[in-house]
Amino acid sequence: MSIAVRSVSKNFGRFAALHDVSLEVAEGELLALLGPSGSGKTTLLRVMAGLEFPDDARGRVFFHGRDVTDQPAYQRRAGFVFQHYALFPNMTVAQNVAFGLDARPRRHRPPKAEIRARVEHLLGVVQLEGLGARFPAQLSGGQRQRVALARALAIEPSVLLLDEPFGALDAKVRKELRQWIRRFHDRTRITSVFVTHDQEEAFEIADRVVILDKGGIQQIGTAREVRGGPSTPFVTEFLGLGENI
Amino acid sequence: MSAIAQFSPSRARVHATADPAWVRWGVTFLGVGFAAAFLALPLGVVFQEAFRHGAGGFLAPLRDTSTRSAIGLTLLVAAIVVPVNTIGGLAAAWATCRFRFPGRRLLLALIEMPLWVSPVVGGLLFMLLFGRQGWFGAWLIAHDVSIVFAAPGVVLATLFVTFPFVARCVIPQMQAQGFAEEEAAMTLGASAWRVFWKVTLPKVKWGMTYGIILCNARSMGEFGAVSVVSGYIRGQTITMPLHVEIRYNEYQTTAAFAVASLLCLLALATLLGKTWSERRLARAFRAGAEAIPAEARS
């Protein structure tokens, strides 16, 4: 198991965002967390990243079999991509991508020339060669999201977590970028989890889809499994399967 | 339908919202006249009085030792108060924007308290705490520590009065920008310290600059709170505003206005710095708004 979540509950005030959720993500898998807003999908992703912590000690998070529950985000090496990019506006694209490498303690930090070479390489991977000197404000939405991806990949993350990565993009760019992500995943096989409220998106690129509602998992399966046999009335309704019967 | 929708072109709107000429001129005249009478005129009088006996008359009082010690104390107080309140203000802004905790609203109100309470009350508060009859009075006397009627009291009173400025200038900027960049930096392995210096500080730097300028101006110009705790010991607890008052009461008008003119120059410098940082702040807000895509803003 690459990522495992056990019995995680999370409340914000009186709102139960997650209620006793357990989930396992296989090595090299591309998994989608799908659900309406308020279903807890983003909270689950943030718990994996260490940006939120489970309410009680029963809730645990494991990366590659290692318990990381008590590690804060900056120790987990989980690449995270935000819906609204969250690029550093005062830094160039190259500085953004280099941020995670520059932040390493001195003895683990690669020499400057190597950081530069790696940034160049990553900008090539996300097809933004030659844009390293630009500032985020000078890029389009699709380009910004690819910078965010390159920045997350720079730390050689053990897992990649994406929060509505296509949510802020227009329809055409969204479609291109999600196919690109799928191809990228086929190449690298880095364990990835992404959050979406768009079922077409989830079923098109994910290996398996997790459907959440009201802080609980309703069903887990491949596109064929979920569509072929929705396990709860919610899933049937959410996927719009009822109309076909 | 579309004809109705297209009916209100800009011309119609100009007529609908424009005021008659006499209103526009009247209001402008009132505003400018008021500013001239109550702001520019006193400023002019200050400089006129300061130079009544020529440049020599202006410079002579600035050379005497009591004036120098007043300027020295004022600079010392500002040098302590501004950094302390910058750090305290940033911490307060961070705490109230970043976290939701019980008592958060109370803290927000408390931050502003020195703005709506009279400075004299602030001064009296320190008398109540550290004065001879105060809560800690006996202990302070036993340990031979003087706070009120000494420089530490002046510093404390000024700290109290000028605390809100940095926090009040930084909070709106922090709230508008959110903390996604900070979270991104954390997932990239940056320590809290690095996140603060590399991400948070650049984001709020113009709001902070604006707050620092206001804090500095007020700390040098504060009268009420300081006059309560000062005790008016010449050469020791007299700041520039108190010095102006003393000289004026001694009928040394030229000397009083010479020091007052220095305070006015500080005010002008503050105005320039404030205008400049406000412009940068407005630009930062616009850039921030552009960085967040339209869909997210609604």
What's the ipTM? Answer: 0.92
With an 8 Å Cβ cutoff, are A90 and B186 in contact? Answer: no
CB A200 within 8 A of CB A209: no
pLDDT higher than threshold 80 for residue B245: yes
B199 touches chain A (CB under 8 A): yes
d(CA A53, nearest CA chain B) in Å? 14
Position A24 scores a pLDDT of 96
With an 8 Å Cβ cutoff, are B184 and A151 in contact? Answer: yes
What is the mean predicted confidence (pLDDT) over A39-68? 95
Least-confidence region, from A67-71, B20-24, B245-249, B291-295 = B291-295
Four-CA torsion B74, B76, B77, B78, nearest 10 degrees: 90
B246 touches chain A (CB under 8 A): no
Among chain A residues, the shortest Cα distance to B180 is held by A86
- State the pLDDT confidence band at B14, using cuts at 50, 70 and 90: low
In angstroms, the CA A240 to CA A10 distance is 29
Residues in a beta bridge with A213? A216
Among B189, B203, B293, select the one facing A168 at the smallest CB separation. Answer: B293
With an 8 Å Cβ cutoff, are B180 and A73 in contact? Answer: no
What is the mean predicted confidence (pLDDT) over B145-160? 93
What is the mean predicted confidence (pLDDT) over B108-112? 92
pLDDT higher than threshold 50 for residue B81: yes
Position B296 scores a pLDDT of 41
- Show residues of chain B in contact with A73, CB under 8 Å: 183, 186-187
Indicate the burial class of B191 (C-beta count within 10 angstroms; 0-12, 13-18, 19 or more): middle
Instruction: State what percent of residues in chain B have pLDDT above 90.
Output: 56
Residues in a beta bridge with A5? A23, A61
With an 8 Å Cβ cutoff, are A77 and B183 in contact? Answer: no
Residues in a beta bridge with A160? A79, A192
A171 touches chain B (CB under 8 A): no
Indicate the burial class of A160 (C-beta count within 10 angstroms; 0-12, 13-18, 19 or more): buried
In angstroms, the CA A207 to CA A187 distance is 14
What is the mean predicted confidence (pLDDT) over A60-66? 95
**Residue-wise over A31-70: b if at least 16 C-beta within 10 A, else e?**
bbbbbeeebbbbbbbbbbbbbbebeeeebbbbbeeeebbe
Position B278 scores a pLDDT of 83
Among A76, A87, A90, select the one facing B202 at the smallest CB separation. Answer: A90
Tokens 């308290």 belong to B113
pTM of the model: 0.81
Three-state SS string over B127-192 comes to HHHHCCCCCCHHHHHHCCCCCCCCHHHHHHHHHHHHCHHHHHHHHHHHHHHCCHHHHHHHHCCCCH
With an 8 Å Cβ cutoff, are A76 and B187 in contact? Answer: yes
In angstroms, the CA A135 to CA A151 distance is 14
- State the pLDDT confidence band at A244, using cuts at 50, 70 and 90: low
Among A74, A77, A89, select the one facing B291 at the smallest CB separation. Answer: A89
Per the rule left: phi > 0, alpha: psi between -120 and 50, beta: everything else, B3 is alpha
A156: helix, strand or coil: coil
pLDDT higher than threshold 90 for residue B292: no
In angstroms, the CA B103 to CA B100 distance is 9
- Show residues of chain A in contact with B191, CB under 8 Å: 74, 103
d(CA A139, nearest CA chain B) in Å? 10
CB B187 within 8 A of CB A78: yes
A165 touches chain B (CB under 8 A): no
Among B183, B185, B291, select the one facing A137 at the smallest CB separation. Answer: B291
d(CA A23, nearest CA chain B) in Å? 21
Q: Of A82, A85, A54, A83, which is closest to residue A68 (Cα–Cα)?
A: A54
Residues in a beta bridge with A217? A212
What is the mean predicted confidence (pLDDT) over B201-220? 92
Instruction: State what percent of residues in chain B have pLDDT above 70.
Output: 90
Among A82, A137, A152, select the one facing B180 at the smallest CB separation. Answer: A82
Q: Pick the residue of A46, A52, A99 with the most B CBs within 10 A to test the interface with B by mutation.
A: A99
Position B6 scores a pLDDT of 47
- Show residues of chain B in contact with A49, CB under 8 Å: 187
Query: What tens digit of pLDDT does each residue of B219-240 get?
Result: 999 999 999 999 899 889 999 9
- State the pLDDT confidence band at A245, using cuts at 50, 70 and 90: very low
pLDDT higher than threshold 90 for residue B132: no
Least-confidence region, from A77-81, A117-121, A156-160, B43-47 = B43-47
What's the count of helices (H) and strands (E) in chain B, helices before strands?
A: 18, 0
- Show residues of chain B in contact with A136, CB under 8 Å: 291
pLDDT higher than threshold 90 for residue B130: yes
Position B240 scores a pLDDT of 95
DSSP-derived letter for residue A162 is E
**Six token digits for residue B106:** 């109370």
Q: Which residues, at least 6 apart from A12, have a Cβ–Cβ distance to it below 8 Å?
A: none
In angstroms, the CA B72 to CA B93 distance is 31
In angstroms, the CA A122 to CA A137 distance is 20
Q: Pick the residue of A83, A90, A97, A101 with the most B CBs within 10 A to test the interface with B by mutation.
A: A90
CB A17 within 8 A of CB A174: no
Q: What integer best gives the mean pLDDT of chain A? A: 93
In angstroms, the CA A122 to CA A153 distance is 8
Query: What tens digit of pLDDT does each residue of A97-138 get?
Result: 999 999 999 999 999 999 999 999 999 999 999 999 999 999
- State the pLDDT confidence band at A243, using cuts at 50, 70 and 90: low
**Six token digits for residue B73:** 């104390």
Q: Please report how the helices B253-291 and B164-177 are oriented relative to each other, as an axis angle in degrees rounded to 10.
A: 10
